[in-house]
């Protein structure tokens, strides 16, 4: 047992903080990240050589186990169990401490492009729903009514779509809004034979994700250089109870079950100050996947909600890996 604890304590504190979604400054002092300490003066210090931390304001700190326990509100044993499982999983990859991302797609770098609702609306009109895409979602338990309400489209041939966009807007405009890659021959970031999911805020399309139904290596893709957004976040104003899901498919699944839900689309997805403020009068039901990524998502979001003063409940999926698995199983019963 002691060897497992010692192994966990050797995980760099920056790695643990990254998994929890807690930014740590490289400066000598920073504001305390502990959710119940409203630190007005920088009082938190980190000794990276010894892998220890301490807050001179609230008097707490210690090893990475202590750090994660205070952030998440979980016991030391629970933290050790979570992090040791993460170690076992990451040892199978090329990096010993690879981040566990609660995401369906690779993260993009810091936002370099900006959304263009006018171009996005035209792009969506070039990708209407298609029977192949509709049937894929029907097989996942997502009805045509739900598909229509979220304006799910389908990219048949990405080259044909790109030609029509280029003829109207030109290369520079498409690069600036993240629809094509820069510094290479024009290529749509979304592959052919993919579902197209628009993210609508205030009645305007501000982001897209695609879900390939034929390419296993590029399953979920987002706009290039545009910061990821929370899916269906306008729904927060519509209900007293909000369900927090992992990704688009689980959000559609929650909607299919009559729940008001939003979806996190990656580890870099952030809650805006306004969104957090609007959630303080509601109860958030966090629905993590039943895997390591789900545990990381749960830890990150619960820590954030504690800091923001949001009432929340963690709700487990009773069957399957995720909410969509549960929906399919329930409909087949």
Does the pLDDT at position 7 exceed 60?
yes
CA-to-CA distance for 132 and 134, rounded, in angstroms?
A: 6
| pLDDT tens-digit map of 66-108 | 998 888 777 888 888 878 876 655 544 433 333 333 333 333 3
Q: Which two tokens stand for residue 278?
A: 């609007």
CA-to-CA distance for 261 and 277, rounded, in angstroms?
A: 17
Class of 233-332 in CATH: alpha beta
Q: What is the pLDDT of residue 100?
A: 31
Does the pLDDT at position 323 exceed 50?
yes
- Beta bridge pairs of residue 155: 194
Q: What is the pLDDT of residue 324?
A: 96
Q: In what order do the strands lie in the sheet with 153-155?
A: 153-155, 194-201, 204-212, 220-222
pTM of the predicted structure, to 2 decimals: 0.69
Same fold? 117-222, 233-332? no
Mean pLDDT rounded to a whole number for the chain: 86
3-state SS, residue 285: strand
Q: What is the pLDDT of residue 312?
A: 92
| pLDDT tens-digit map of 260-298 | 999 999 766 888 888 998 999 999 999 999 988 888 899
Instruction: Name the pLDDT band for 216 (thresholds 50, 70, 90).
Output: low
Where is average pLDDT lowest: 137-146, 158-167, 306-315? 306-315
Report domain extents, the chain.
Answer: 2-90, 117-222, 233-332
Q: Which CATH homologous superfamily contains domain 117-222?
A: DNA primase, catalytic core, N-terminal domain (3.90.980.10)
Where is average pLDDT lowest: 19-23, 77-81, 114-118? 19-23
Q: Which two tokens stand for residue 271?
A: 């809650």
| pLDDT tens-digit map of 226-269 | 888 999 999 998 889 999 999 999 999 999 999 999 999 976 68
Q: What is the pLDDT of residue 114?
A: 84
Q: What is the pLDDT of residue 284?
A: 94
CA-to-CA distance for 172 and 148, rounded, in angstroms?
A: 32
Cα dihedral 108→112→118→119 (10° resolution) = -70
More confident residue, 24 or 110: 24
Cα dihedral 219→222→228→231 (10° resolution) = -70
Residue pair 94/113 in contact by the 8 Å Cβ criterion: no
Which CATH fold would you assign to the domain 2-90? DNA Primase; Chain A (3.90.580)
């Amino acid at each position: 047992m002691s060897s497992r604890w010692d192994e966990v304590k050797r995980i760099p504190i920056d790695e643990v903080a990254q998994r929890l979604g807690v930014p740590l400054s490289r400066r000598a002092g920073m504001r305390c990240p502990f959710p119940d300490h409203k630190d007005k003066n920088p009082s938190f210090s980190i000794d990276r050589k010894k892998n220890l931390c301490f807050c001179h304001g609230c008097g707490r700190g210690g090893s990475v186990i202590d750090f994660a326990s205070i952030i998440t509100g979980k016991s030391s044993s629970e933290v050790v169990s979570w992090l040791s499982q993460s170690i076992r999983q990451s040892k199978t990859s090329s990096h010993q401490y690879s981040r566990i991302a609660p995401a369906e797609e690779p993260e993009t770098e810091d936002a370099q492009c900006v959304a263009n609702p006018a171009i996005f609306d035209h792009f969506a009109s070039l990708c209407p729903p298609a029977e192949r895409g509709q049937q894929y979602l029907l097989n996942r338990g997502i009805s045509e009514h739900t598909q229509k309400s979220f304006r799910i489209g389908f990219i048949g041939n990405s080259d044909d779509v790109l030609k029509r966009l280029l003829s109207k807007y030109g290369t520079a405009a498409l690069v600036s809004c993240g629809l094509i890659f820069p510094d290479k021959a024009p290529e749509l970031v979304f592959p052919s034979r993919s579902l197209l999911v628009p993210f609508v805020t205030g009645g305007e399309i501000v982001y897209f994700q695609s879900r390939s139904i034929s390419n296993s290596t590029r399953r979920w893709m987002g706009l290039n250089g545009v910061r990821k957004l929370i899916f269906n976040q306008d729904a927060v104003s519509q209900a007293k109870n909000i369900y927090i899901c992992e990704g688009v498919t689980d959000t559609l699944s929650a909607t299919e079950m009559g729940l008001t839900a939003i979806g996190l689309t990656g580890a870099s997805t952030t809650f805006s100050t306004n969104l957090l403020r609007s959630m303080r009068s509601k109860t958030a039901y966090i629905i993590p996947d039943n895997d390591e990524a789900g545990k990381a998502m749960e830890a990150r979001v619960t820590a954030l909600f504690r800091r923001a003063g949001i009432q929340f409940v963690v709700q487990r999926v009773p069957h399957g890996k995720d909410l969509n698995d549960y929906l399919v199983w329930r409909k087949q019963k």
